[in-house]
Amino acid sequence: MRQVIFLIRSEDRKGLLAGISGFFYSRGLNILECRQYTDVLENRYFMRVAVELGPEMTRKELESGFAELAAGLKLTYSVHYQDDVQNVAILVSKTSHCLYDLLMHAEEGSLNGRIMLVIGNHPDLESVADRFRIPFYCCPIEEGKSADQEERVLGLLRHHRIDLVVLARYMRILSDKFISSYPERIINIHHAFLPAFQGGNPYQRAWERGVKMIGATAHYATAELDEGPIIEQDVERITHESGPDQLRERGRDIERRVLTRAVQAHLEHRVIISGRRTIVFGQ
């Protein structure tokens, strides 16, 4: 028995649920889970259906059947097979905390994907990747030649057939070209509770502003910096006793758990993007 997940978006119309659930029922497929959300303000419909695919039907039969239904109901959708391993690449610079957390969760089996490689624009984290037996590639950026470096990185991603790119405190701004090569498939961690403290040096600015909580935000990278659809956020309460350095340290633990949760949600096919927002169906 294989699990198949459909992520569906559509204009909201009567009969969508009856139509889709009827489709699976009529083919004898068991629905394991079905979640929907209707955005009444924008008249949009979102659905995540997980069904069991037995030996009596091939992927091809299932997909062509569903394609027909989708054409009739005007659905936009994607299909995901639990069996298919998703390949993940992690881009890093010099700080290790998010990288460690992802490697550790992968090792413990709680990441629905395989980390294929780690790419650093600095060599610092090679030893971390080494510890987990993950190939590390150092792609430094020569003055004025960041396009070359991006080409090299893109080459590595293509070579490893990467499905998801995770920016684990990668301290470079990616070009539009790079980002558009992996639409809705690059996840970044910003070390602040967006939209507060967009841009650089958020902990210093948080301290100067005297906020009483700090946070972190994981979002899909888009052409506009720190403006992509948010997947996950979290905060922690701080007091006046924490200076910028303490905030940075406290923040590390928030960043890593926010990024890991966002990556888990994406790899478990629980996220649908809707403009600047995301629908994230709970675990």
Binding positions for its own copies, 104-143, rule CB under 8 A:
104, 107-108, 110, 131-132
Asked whether position 41 contacts its own copies by CB under 8 A, the answer is yes
Asked whether position 222 contacts its own copies by CB under 8 A, the answer is no
| Interacting residues with its own copies between 153 and 172 (CB under 8 A) | none
Asked whether position 237 contacts its own copies by CB under 8 A, the answer is yes
Number of neighbouring beta carbons within 10 Å of residue 130: 12
Helix (H) or strand (E) holding 125: none
Binder among 9, 10, 24, 112 for its own copies (CB under 8 A): 24
Using CA atoms, how far residue 43 sits from 9, 11, 12, 39, 274, in Å, is 11, 6, 5, 5, 12
The span from the CA of 78 to the CA of 121, in Å, is: 33
Catalytic residue of the set 83, 84, 226, 234: 226
Using CA atoms, how far residue 60 sits from 23, 40, 82, 261, in Å, is 15, 34, 16, 32
| Interacting residues with its own copies between 259 and 278 (CB under 8 A) | 274, 276-278
Binder among 79, 139, 156, 235 for its own copies (CB under 8 A): 235
- Segment interacting with its own copies, rule: CB under 8 A, options 115-123, 145-153, 158-166, 202-210: 202-210
Whether residue 84 lies in the annotated active site: no
Which is closer to its own copies, CB of 178 or CB of 207?
Answer: 207
Judged on CB neighbours under 10 Å (0-12, 13-18, 19+), 244 is middle
Asked whether position 78 contacts its own copies by CB under 8 A, the answer is no
The span from the CA of 48 to the CA of 6, in Å, is: 6
